[in-house]
Amino acid sequence: MISDQMVNALNEQIALEAHASFLYLSMASWCDKQGLEGCAQFMHRQSEEEKEHMMRIFHYLSEVDAHALTPAISQVPHEFESVQSLMKEVYEHEQKVTASIHKLVTLADKESDHNTRNFLQWYVVEQREEEALMRTVLDKIQLIGEGPMTLYYIDKEIAAINKAALAAEGGE
């Protein structure tokens, strides 16, 4: 039996994942507008991943005979200072999601909710991977530095990272 407190917390996580999906979709559009095709593809993939994360929780709540709530999404930002700041924002958002997942795990442990604890373990691993990916992106951006060709090289590097991530997922 899943507690009302856990159901509410998981519904909050659904909203956080949905917000991330829409934020990353907005970022993809901004990248497209800037001519950063590789970055746009990367952000589209990130948006889809967040949607999948949301849907996993949605289905889990149904499996445990709870009520998953479709979240209302407030308007996400659609303008960004630079691709560098955009990627930093993604990393910070992933850290926020990680902290939220850890709180859910702590709650599951506190309630001795072994089913939910087991379900959340996938997210613990996934968030570690997401943060590592974004640190790689930020490291590449830092290595590229500043200069007239910066955007070109950043876009190429992000496209290569995206292609590698897709291959690792079996998508290419």
Q: What is the mean pLDDT of residues 29-54?
A: 96
DSSP for the chain, written as a single string: ---HHHHHHHHHHHHHHHHHHHHHHHHHHHHHHTT-HHHHHHHHHHHHHHHHHHHHHHHHHHHTT----PPP-PPPP---S-HHHHHHHHHHHHHHHHHHHHHHHHHHHHTT-HHHHHHHHHHHHHHHHHHHHHHHHHHHHHHH-SSTTHHHHHHHHHHHHHHHHHHHTT--
Q: Regarding predicted confidence, which is higher, 59 or 150?
A: 59
Pick 4-168's CATH classification: 3.40.50.11810, 1.20.1260.10, 3.90.180.10, 1.10.340.30. 1.20.1260.10
What is the pLDDT at residue 172? 59
* Mean pLDDT of the 46-63 span: 97
Q: What is the pTM of this model?
A: 0.91
Predicted local confidence at residue 171, as pLDDT: 65
